[in-house]
Amino acid sequence: MRTRSKLRLWLFTAVLGATVFVPSQVLAASSGPTNPQVPHAGAAPAAAVPDQCTMMTQLNADEQKYRLGYNAPVIYTLAANGANFFDVTCGGLTFTVPRGQDALIDFTAAAELDCQAPGDVTNPPPTNGWCESRFLVNVVNVLPNNGGRSDSFAWDSSNGGANDWQANTLDQFGHVVCPRSDTTQNPCTYNVRLQARLDNGATSLWLDDLTVRVDVSEGAVTVVNTTP
- 88 assigned to some structural domain: yes
Longest dimension (CA), the chain: 101
Residue type at 108 in one-letter notation: T
- 225 assigned to some structural domain: no
How many domains would you assign to the chain?
Answer: 2
Nearest to 73 by CA among 48, 37, 120: 37
Residues 69 and 20 in one domain: no
Partners of 157 in the β-ladder: 130
Residues 114 and 175 in one domain: yes
Rounded distance between C-alpha atoms, residue 124 and residue 131, angstroms: 19
- 165 assigned to some structural domain: yes
Give the pLDDT score at 196.
97
Rounded distance between C-alpha atoms, residue 126 and residue 196, angstroms: 21
Residues 176 and 97 in one domain: yes
Nearest to 195 by CA among 209, 212, 174, 173: 212
29 — alpha (psi -120 to 50), left (phi > 0) or beta? Answer: alpha
Q: Is 102 in contact with 221 (CB distance < 8 Å)?
A: yes
Nearest to 102 by CA among 224, 222, 225, 226: 222
Q: What is the pLDDT along the chain (228 residues), one digit of tens a residue?
A: 444 444 444 444 444 444 333 333 333 333 445 555 565 666 666 777 899 999 999 999 999 999 999 999 999 999 999 999 999 999 999 999 999 999 999 999 999 999 999 988 878 888 889 999 999 999 999 999 877 777 788 899 988 877 777 889 999 999 999 999 999 999 999 999 999 999 999 999 999 999 999 999 999 999 999 988
Residues 74 and 153 in one domain: yes
Nearest to 207 by CA among 35, 87, 27: 87
Residues 94 and 161 in one domain: yes
Give the pLDDT score at 146.
77
- 118 assigned to some structural domain: yes
Rounded distance between C-alpha atoms, residue 65 and residue 149, angstroms: 31
For residue 22, what are the domain limits? 1-30
Residues 81 and 186 in one domain: yes
Partners of 156 in the β-ladder: 131
Give the pLDDT score at 29.
36
Residues 140 and 176 in one domain: yes
The structure's pTM equals 0.78
Give the pLDDT score at 44.
67
Give the pLDDT score at 122.
79
Residues 185 and 109 in one domain: yes
Residues 110 and 57 in one domain: yes
Which CATH number characterizes residue 147's domain?
A: 2.60.120
- 35 assigned to some structural domain: no
Nearest to 215 by CA among 59, 52, 111: 59
User: How many C-beta atoms lie closer than 10 Å to residue 155's C-beta?
Assistant: 24
Q: Is 161 in contact with 96 (CB distance < 8 Å)?
A: no
